[in-house]
Amino acid sequence: MTQFRPGRTWIDIHEGPPLAIAHRGASAYAFDNTLRAFEVARELGADMWEVDIRLTSDGVPVAFHDADLNKVCGLDLKVGDVSAAKLAELTAAAGRPAPRFEEVAELAAKCGAGIYLDAKEADAATLAIDILRGHGIERVIVGANTPDYCADLIARDCPFPVSILVGIGIDPFPVADFCGAEIVHPCWERAGERPDRLLDGAFFAEAAGRGLAIVTWHEERVDVVEALVNMPVLGICSDQPELVSRFRRASGRQPAIVCHRGACGIAPENTLASANAAWSAGFDFVEIDVRETADGGLVVHHDPQLDRTTDAAGDLSAATVQQLSVLDAGGWFDPFYAGESIPLLEDITDLAFRAGGRLYVEIKQADPVRTAETVLGRLAAEDVFFWSWNADWLKRIRQAFPEAQLMARPEDFDTLEDCLTAFDAAIIEFNAGNATAAAIAAVHAAGRQVMIAYMGNDPEEMDRLLQLEPNLINVNAPFLVARRTEKNQ
């Protein structure tokens, strides 16, 4: 039976939920195996990064999955046929710069991330391991996709735990016995709709009896991830590591997190991608901005002009829905999102319904009653609140939909009392600068909820605002809020 070798202690002492292992970085949100993918993985709360390693012609380990450059660069060249400098030049020109592994390790050490090393050849693994040790990174797994390669890694006295990747229909335990792996990694993502059900009590009993840890395939189905999180596995790979390490409020004192224009640091603002990233991470609300097109369509876009966040120019209100539908609303943010479109309001509400998400709807320039009708036709009133700079529009929503939740800001009124009584707002929003304990207490005494808006990323200021105990906090940096609330528990 496989037994852990001396010095492989970090997996033995690991406690808590499964580790979130970002598959090739956060590859659902950035080109895989790029520094951007690993930076996003860190923001999403990944504990480890799975990195594919190949060697260039001059023997430099690089983060790259494929053996050739066909997919990335459209070139019939092997990675091993070009130098590291040439690979960097070619991939940068293609918009997908391949980093040297040294750069990845340096970033991981800075962020405190572990590395799941998928070296495609033993010499690449040896060099990458030396780099990891040089950066003092201890939380490392070295993966092998064949038993012979696994045995070779161990024979080379690999200083880190070695995993064996096992395909569908193969009993992993005799394979682990043969090659001496300490971790079994079933690659069962294509084993039907619920591959998690293959990991039953007998499977884990067998693994435990053999001293084997389990790391699972890369998984992006929410229900499957939720099941895996509750199993005795060491880690879960995912293109969306936030699904593994979802934010969960531990108490009612922690505010609901409102993601301003979605998870706008991960994906382009006011897009389906940014909304999906926010809800996938476990955050409560997505704030969106609504505008009306020339032909009466309702779309989600912040600016009155198209210039800043699309590949077009001019006033949005002068364009039709069809004209807007062909614009690129993502390439400005990152080439990965090229082709992301301006969403219709109904697209966002449909996504919210499917994701179990909630919305804060800011009406920039659109018919307020049609806007509310569109949203409330799909979402429950308690899962949405509305605000606009035009108080008359809010009053119209109140008249048409008495059950609708509205928001008001004290800065728009002479007194706090006027703010509370204007249109019976359920939520009162303070800016960070005018949020005081006394004002918040007065709002709570009136039976209303408090939201604080803060678009900065200063941890100390975030802590100050959290100490005021708002019911909601509207931010550009939701992952910072999550880390601060977890730190202060």
**Residues annotated as catalytic (active site), given as ranges:** 260, 302
Distances (CA, A) of 34 to 83, 86, 143, 277, 436: 18, 16, 19, 19, 43
Sign of the Cα torsion 88, 92, 97, 98 reads negative
d(CA 142, CA 129): 9
CA–CA dist 295, 272 (Å, integer): 22
Closest CA to 56 of 47, 67, 45: 67
**Token pair recorded at residue 411:** 């800065």
Contact status, residue 49 vs residue 20, Cβ threshold 8 Å: no
Q: What is the DSSP letter of 426?
A: S
DSSP string covering 336-383, please? GGTTPPPPBHHHHHHHHHHHT-EEEEEEEES-HHHHHHHHHTTS-GGG
Q: Does residue 443 contact residue 425 with C-beta atoms inside 8 Å?
A: no
Contact 18, 213 (CB under 8 A): no
Name the nearest CA neighbour of 386 among 270, 396, 378, 430: 396
SS3 string of 256-322?
EEEEECCCCCCCCCCCHHHHHHHHHCCCCEEEEEEEECCCCCEEECCCCECCCCCCCCCEHHHCCHH
- Of 325, 305, 282, give the one whose Cα is nearest residue 478: 282
Return the biggest CA–CA distance within the chain: 77
Would you state the structure tokens that stand for residue 344, as one six-digit string?
């219709």
